[in-house]
Structures are given as C-alpha cells and as structure tokens.
Amino acid sequence: MKIDHLLICVDAPEKKVKILTDFGLIEGEPNSHFGQGTSNRRFYFDNIYLELLYIDDLKAAQSALTKPTKIYQRFLPKTSKISPFAVCFYADDPKKNNKKFDINKFDNWAYKPKYLPSPLKIDILEAPISEPMYFFLDFISNASHKKHKEFKHKIGFKNVTNIKYLTPNHHLDSAIKTYISEHNLLEYIANDTHVFHLEFDKGMQGKTHDFQPDLPLIFSW
C-alpha cells in the first residue's frame, strides 16, 4: 500500500493557494465533487500530491449521502479532537510487491459518491475523527502518477521522502493507524495541534518552511 495524496480541509481556498504559489509551487488542475458539496485545489509532486479541499455547497456536504464520511465536521473550528486531514492510499505495484494489501482485515465501508461513475467506489477505513480520514482507491495505480512529473516547481524539490503527522492524538488508537505506523507510511509525533510535516528529497538542502498559522503544513527539503 502506498500514499496517493494528502488532503487538508481548508476555508478561503484562494488565499491558501496563493500562499503555496508565492512559496514556489505550481498548481495543478482543480476538481469539483458533484453531490458531495466540495471542490479542491491540487499541487502535484513526483510521487504524491497535496489536495486542499473546501466546501462549495453546504447542503450537499451535509446530505444523507455525504454525512457518513464526516467530511463536514473536519471543516468545523479547529479543535484537538478533530483532524482536518485525510490520507488516500492505493495498492502497491504487484510486479514489485507480492504482498497485496487486504482491506478486509480492517473495518471499512464503501462510499459511492455521485461524482464517481459506477462501479467505482471509495473504501473508507474506520477510524475516529481525531485521526485523519483514511481511504483506499482500488482504481489508482503507479501509472496514474505519470502526470505528476510534468509539474516542475520553482522551489525545485520533487519527491516526498517522509511524512510526519504531528497530532495531539499520536497514540495508536485504530487498527488501520497501527498498520500505517508499523509500515512507515506515516510517522506519528506528539504535538499540540494537527500538522503535516513533509520532507522532500531526503532533506538534502537542510531547509524548512512553516506555513502555520495559515496552513497546518511544514515543508523540509
């Protein structure tokens, strides 16, 4: 299992995007989630991408279809009890790894939003809202990431080589969180607030930029 993208629930998306573009990132194409009440702005790196998610239809975001995802709650005023993040996973390349991730070893449910054509679905892994929303896409592959390399950021870095999740809830609570930690997909670190710390290119330049308080995000490269 690999990380496809990291998601941050934000308000004032134009402001947040400008912060990242002023820093030196090139924005990818935005997307809208019909029937879910959300849209996004995206920034692609060679191996993962960063998604800024925002609400554009409050009624749809609170609808019976969307409600079980608890997406709306992640936009509520900041609190240590609610993570504003989500993490999307996809399967390893079977040619390189024979150990296929078995989602059925964990509590999960199939979310079928209106914007996905049948029979595509999003498998959401059960975890408390104090953790990120963890979800799995079985229709994503390594080939889906080829377009990422088209984005040459002015800041110069390319690959995310480590992801630290700074959180007030760093203790392993859910089964999937334990699995993620044991397989070094995310490094959970105690912190007063929820923050993603992304290391690029093994931190070879020894530089760090903290986007707080505007974004719960730290870059090292």
- Domain locations in the chain as residue ranges: 2-220
Q: What is the pLDDT of residues 2-44, one digit of tens each?
A: 999 999 999 999 999 999 999 999 999 999 999 999 999 999 9
User: Cα separation of 146 and 163, whole Å?
Assistant: 21
For residue 70, name the pLDDT band (cuts at 50, 70, 90): very high
Place of tokens 């070893």: 105
pLDDT of residue 97: 53
How many other CB atoms sit within 10 Å of the CB of residue 66? 22
pLDDT of residue 174: 92
Residue 95 has pLDDT above 60, yes or no: no
Q: What is the pLDDT of residues 43-67, one digit of tens each?
A: 999 999 999 999 999 999 999 999 9
What amino acid occupies position 26?
I
Beta carbons within 8 Å of 32's beta carbon, 6+ residues apart: 38, 39, 40, 56, 115
**What single DSSP character describes residue 122?**
E
Please, are residues 3 and 163 in contact by the beta-carbon 8 Å criterion?
yes
Place of tokens 């950021």: 153
Mean pLDDT score of the chain, rounded to an integer? 94
- Tokens (6 digits) for 211: 């986007």
Which superfamily is assigned to 2-220 in CATH?
A: 2,3-Dihydroxybiphenyl 1,2-Dioxygenase, domain 1 (3.10.180.10)
Residue 92 has pLDDT above 80, yes or no: no
| Dihedral angle, C-alpha 114, 122, 68, 100, nearest 10 ° | 170
Alpha-carbon distance values, 97 to 91, 93, 94, 104, 164 (Å): 10, 6, 5, 19, 24
Residue 82 has pLDDT above 60, yes or no: yes
Please, are residues 32 and 51 in contact by the beta-carbon 8 Å criterion?
no
Helix, strand, coil shares, percent, the chain, to 5:
20, 30, 50
- Between vectors from CA 22 to CA 18 and to CA 23, what angle results, nearest 5°? 120
User: Cα separation of 58 and 60, whole Å?
Assistant: 6
User: How long a stretch of residues is the chain?
Assistant: 221
Please, are residues 196 and 217 in contact by the beta-carbon 8 Å criterion?
yes
CA 121 to chain centre: 17
Q: What is the pLDDT of residues 141-198, one digit of tens each?
A: 887 888 787 889 999 999 999 999 999 998 878 999 999 999 999 999 999 999 999 9
Q: What is the pLDDT of residues 103-150, one digit of tens each?
A: 999 999 999 999 999 999 999 999 999 999 999 999 998 878 887 878
pLDDT of residue 159: 96
pLDDT of residue 181: 94
